[in-house]
Chains A and B, each alone.
Chain A
Amino acid sequence: MIRSCTNRIIPQVDLLLPFRSKRLEMIHIRQTASDRNHYGSWAVHDKLFRATTATGTADGTHSSSWTGSDLGRVPRERADAASEPACTDSHPCSGQEVTLRPDLCRLAEWAFGPRGVASLQIIAYGDFAYGGRGDSQNLCLCKGTDEGKRFQLIAVSDPAWKDVQHKYRNVLEACPAEPLFEEPS
């Protein structure tokens, strides 16, 4: 069992399993931008505490020692995450290396894998309210095109990123937690 910062037990369940033979095209893991800044990302490790890296591979070996989540801990408490194997890929904005959290890595490997959700095209992560506001911490994952890679990040500069934002706009931008404009300080 995993405990979040609000002392809630994070259950591990299988919401996606029923969609394996359906028509699910896209999933969006919603995390509000301010939450990510306050409590840490559900998707990406902070650079300082980057895990021992391993590229997500078709045999899923990277995840064999997965132990759990560090959800909600403030960054200074996340040093233990560095011992968890994870995936790396190019940063969608800067081209720098980014380390995906093992939970997201496992989800993507399974979902885009041969026993996953065959119809799935996109896993989006982050806060896309108001067009994403150029948020560099948002991610889009799609099926891997290279042999041996089940999934890959879509770069912000890739036209495919814009296509995703356009095609799924009302889903990605629904229910924005923060206002369109902040009052000037």
Chain B
Amino acid sequence: MAIFDLALAISDVIQIQRSWDLGTCVPSTVLGTHGIISLNHSQIRSLNLTTDPFCHPSECDIDLSAFRQLRTLSWKGPRAEDLDALSVAILGNSAHLRKLELDLVSWPQLLYDLGISGDEEDEEDEEDEDGRIADNYFTRTILCLDKCSPQPLLPAIRVLSLSQVPVSASMVFAVDFPAIESFTLRRCPGWDELLEHVLHLGLSIKLSILEIQETDDVTHGEADHTLAQFLSAFEGLQELFISHQGPSHTLALWELFRGRHSTLRRFVYHQRTIDMEEDSPYFEEARDLPDLSLIEEDKHLLRENPAQSPLAELHIECLGLACVPELWVRARNDDDKVVH
């Protein structure tokens, strides 16, 4: 009874806000097959869920099959048991879904929960079935993409944000890539393969917003070339957020913005690395790289002729950099010297 009352109260909230961003378990009485939202508010156009991925399966069944008018679907934290419901929600709204945001929180953990081996050694073996299933889980099992699927499967998508979701080259058949305005890939295995395939097919790219975040455990530098090629293949970005493995040649990447992305207004750049100090208590753990890994030539340029910085000709309004304060402006004993 108490849960039912809670569900009623939450129902009112959701009717207005259409979101469950509590990060808790969702009782079956709310979003189960006979849940109050499913029964009474199935016409909502926007559904935002942040649910606890560690909830016990039997406590909170989620069934989104009633929702057939969704333009926005955001789900952060689905459990392995929820992936069928996720699939049904996406496919049930495939024709008109404009924004899809998924955060699977930990793909390796989900693979484990699904009983699929995600070992790297297995993935390298072409014959390994589990590896193939893991790599293509999103496209084949969640989106059910096959040769008979309509192409694109999700023609109305304009905003696509995926976190910890394995992506592959076949993703290009799931969406109308030239129509996408905002594209976010956070820690998505296979992201570089997907971008390479977009380039390979020569698809038109009209992104205004791009966010790419590598996982911490990849070998640094592997995907830098792909990222650079992708950024070179189009123009007109307004917002760009990058976090990747360092050390990486920062200014070489920033140089790509000249002319091509002079429209850039919001820019975030973050390099991560692995602590390789053997006597560090955090040996082999990921950490920030605080100096932008600037090479000597670039330090000289930024010190002696900062107006030649690749960012100097842009009109950036918001700038986020993972670097210590002394890189933003040089320390001098006399304030006035800074400006001469």
A residues contacting B by CB (< 8 A) are 2, 4-20, 22-32, 34-35, 38-39, 42-43, 60, 63-64, 66, 68-69, 71-72, 101, 103-104, 106-107, 109-111, 113, 115, 168, 170-172, 174-177, 179-181, 183-184
- Using C-beta atoms within 8 Å of the partner chain, give the interface range for chain B: 35 or more
A9 to B317, CA, bound (A): 29
- B216-261, CB < 8 A from A: 216, 239, 241-243
B residues contacting A by CB (< 8 A) are 23, 50, 52-54, 76-77, 103, 105-106, 109, 163-164, 186, 209, 211, 213, 216, 239, 241-243, 266, 268, 270, 272-273, 275-277, 280-282, 285-288, 290-291, 293-294, 299, 302-303, 306-307, 309, 311-312, 315-331, 333, 335-336, 338-339
Is there an interface contact between B331 and A30, defined as CB atoms closer than 8 Å?
no
With A69-B326, A106-B325, A177-B272 as given contacts, are A15 and B211 in contact (CB-CB < 8 Å)?
no
Q: Assuming A27-B321, A115-B338, A171-B241, what are 17 further A-B pairs, CB within 8 angstroms? A: A11-B302, A14-B302, A14-B329, A15-B323, A17-B338, A18-B311, A22-B316, A23-B316, A27-B320, A28-B268, A42-B290, A110-B329, A175-B242, A177-B270, A177-B286, A180-B50, A180-B77
Is there an interface contact between A11 and B291, defined as CB atoms closer than 8 Å?
yes
Is there an interface contact between B321 and A25, defined as CB atoms closer than 8 Å?
no
Closest CB of chain A to B1's CB: distance in Å?
28
Is there an interface contact between B52 and A15, defined as CB atoms closer than 8 Å?
no
Is there an interface contact between A175 and B243, defined as CB atoms closer than 8 Å?
yes
A63 to B53, CA, bound (A): 49
Is there an interface contact between A181 and B330, defined as CB atoms closer than 8 Å?
no
Residues from chain A with a CB closer than 8 A to the CB of B23 are 180-181
Closest CB of chain A to B210's CB: distance in Å?
11
Is there an interface contact between A181 and B77, defined as CB atoms closer than 8 Å?
yes
Contact with A6, one of B54, B243, B275 (Cβ below 8 angstroms): B275
Closest to B266 in A: A171
Closest to A39 in B: B287
With A25-B318, A179-B106 as given contacts, are A14 and B335 in contact (CB-CB < 8 Å)?
no
Is there an interface contact between A174 and B320, defined as CB atoms closer than 8 Å?
yes
Closest CB of chain B to A114's CB: distance in Å?
9
With A18-B307, A28-B268, A183-B109 as given contacts, are A172 and B320 in contact (CB-CB < 8 Å)?
yes
Closest CB of chain A to B162's CB: distance in Å?
13
Residues from chain A with a CB closer than 8 A to the CB of B285 are 38
Is there an interface contact between A171 and B318, defined as CB atoms closer than 8 Å?
yes
Is there an interface contact between A18 and B309, defined as CB atoms closer than 8 Å?
yes
Is there an interface contact between A107 and B329, defined as CB atoms closer than 8 Å?
yes
Residues from chain A with a CB closer than 8 A to the CB of B273 are 6
Residues from chain B with a CB closer than 8 A to the CB of A172 are 320
Closest to B212 in A: A175
With A13-B327, A26-B317 as given contacts, are A181 and B52 in contact (CB-CB < 8 Å)?
yes
